[in-house]
Amino acid sequence: MQQNTNELSVNPFNRIVVDRNGQQIHLTAKEFDLLYFLSSHKGQVFTKEQLYENVWGYDHIFDASNLSSFIRKLRLKIEPVPDKPRYIITVWGVGYKFNEQEKP
């Protein structure tokens, strides 16, 4: 199911992400998987372990630094101001969530 915010459209069928200006945002396969998973569960907080299991799968060994690197790269591509994320929010001491309401 396609996920839309006021500024992002995430389409799992053609694996395309489009910003509010209609510009396609080019993501790697795992970046797309991570964004789609989070945007499909708006507002739900996931631990790093849960994200790793759901995006990479159970057959991969959990690597927190790898996940953090993917989050950082994804923010650089989708966030208007990556240092002040609007979409992928860090929940300190827990993990991450996709913000269900964009900040102005």
In eight-state DSSP terms, residue 61 is: P
pLDDT score of 62 = 74
What DSSP string describes 4-36? Answer: E-SSEEEETTTTEEEETTSPEEP--HHHHHHHH
Please determine, looking at this structure, whether the domain spanning 3-98 carries the CATH number 3.90.1200.10. Answer: no
Q: Within 13 Å, how many C-alpha atoms sit on residue 70's CB side?
A: 20
4: pLDDT strictly greater than 90: no
Evaluate if pTM is beyond 0.85: yes
Q: Which of 5-9, 31-35, 96-100 has the highest mean pLDDT?
A: 31-35
Position 104 confidence tier, pLDDT thresholds 50, 70, 90: very low
Q: Which residues of 9-40 are buried (b: 16+ CB within 10 A; e: fewer)?
A: bbeeeeeebeeeeeeebebeeebbbbbbbbbe
**pLDDT for the residue 59:** 72
Domain segments of the chain as ranges: 3-98
Per the prediction, the chain carries an average pLDDT of 89
Q: Which amino acid is at 60?
A: H
